[in-house]
């Protein structure tokens, strides 16, 4: 084959590969952007669901991902540490977390977790709380509740 024709053919193939690579790169970027937008919408939807259940006079989105606790007789040190451990674990996972958020029904769950898929649930940290109290909370809370025992070292 003529060297000039071979060189042109090689350049043409190289250009085709570059174009294919760029198309794939653009498609991947668009796909990732679409996924990120969907996750953002799901998180926003979850946060809006939480906002609907929050006391409006105390609602503030800056409470999201801010750890809160009661130092003193209201919460033991073990309770606070377990709540912080769970808070930190969910934050490292990428969830949006509200601690001690006042709800419009007057309750104040330990943690409200909003996941990227739009799921919302409550984690209640328990040290000495009686079963009856937990059943009342489960009935009262607007989201599914998960009980976490202070002495339970298992990660979930």
Q: What are phi and psi of 66, to 5 degrees?
A: -115, 120
| pLDDT value of position 93 | 93
Q: What is the pLDDT of residues 41-73, one digit of tens each?
A: 788 888 888 998 998 887 776 678 989 887 877
| pLDDT average, residue stretch 27-50 | 75
pTM of the model: 0.69
Model confidence at 156, pLDDT cuts 50, 70, 90, reads: very low
- Name all domains of the chain by residue range, CATH numbers in brackets: 1-156 (3.40.1350.10)
Which residues are CB-contacts of 103 (< 8 A; sequence separation ≥ 6)? Answer: 53, 54, 55, 109, 141, 142
């Amino acid at each position: 084959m003529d060297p000039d024709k071979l060189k042109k053919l090689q350049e043409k193939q190289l250009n085709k590969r570059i174009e294919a690579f760029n198309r794939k790169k653009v498609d991947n970027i668009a796909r990732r952007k679409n996924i990120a937008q969907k996750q953002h919408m799901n998180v926003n939807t979850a946060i809006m669901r939480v906002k609907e259940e929050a006391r409006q006079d105390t609602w503030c989105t800056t409470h999201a991902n801010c750890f809160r606790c009661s130092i003193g007789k209201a919460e033991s040190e073990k309770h606070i540490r377990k709540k912080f451990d769970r808070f930190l674990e969910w934050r490292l996972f990428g969830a949006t977390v509200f601690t001690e958020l006042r709800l419009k029904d007057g309750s104040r769950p330990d943690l409200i977790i909003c996941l990227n898929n739009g799921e919302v649930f409550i984690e209640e940290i328990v040290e000495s709380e009686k079963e009856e109290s937990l059943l009342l909370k489960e009935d009262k809370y607007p989201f599914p509740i998960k009980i976490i025992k202070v002495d339970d070292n298992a990660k979930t």
